[in-house]
Amino acid sequence: MEYRYVIDCDVAETLVRLPARQREDLIRAFRFLAANPSQRGESSFKDSTLRDIQKKQFGRWVISFWADQPVEELRIVGVQVHKL
């Protein structure tokens, strides 16, 4: 089941500053995650509400997300460039 993805305002601000190619890569990753909402990340952490946030790497990007099952939305709460 494909979820709708929703991005945090900080993620949106990062996205609009990126060159078109990087923006397209991130949006493609968001769509992949929304199509696979139960995807587990390489790591996870608890946010301030003790929600389990997954962190998954896509190329140079690490995306933090959680699936809001009742409303079928994938919440993208962070993007970072992976430091090699």
Cα-atom radius of gyration of the chain, to the nearest Å? 12
Q: Give pLDDT tens digits for 34-44.
A: 999 988 999 99
DSSP 3-state assignment of 29?
Answer: helix
Q: Which two tokens stand for residue 22?
A: 């990087």
Q: Where are the domains of the chain?
A: 4-81
Task: Give the residue carrying structure tokens 């997300």.
Answer: 65
| Cβ–Cβ < 8 Å for 71, 3 | no
Q: Which two tokens stand for residue 38?
A: 């139960």
* Other CB atoms within 10 A of residue 63 CB: 23
**38: nearest Cα among 25, 59, 56, 26:** 56
Confidence band, pLDDT 50/70/90 cuts, at residue 82: confident
At 45 the pLDDT is 94
Q: Residue 84 above 70 pLDDT? A: no
Dist. CA 41–CA 36, nearest whole Å: 12
Q: Give pLDDT tens digits for 52-63.
A: 999 999 999 999
CATH code: domain 4-81 is: 3.30.2310.20
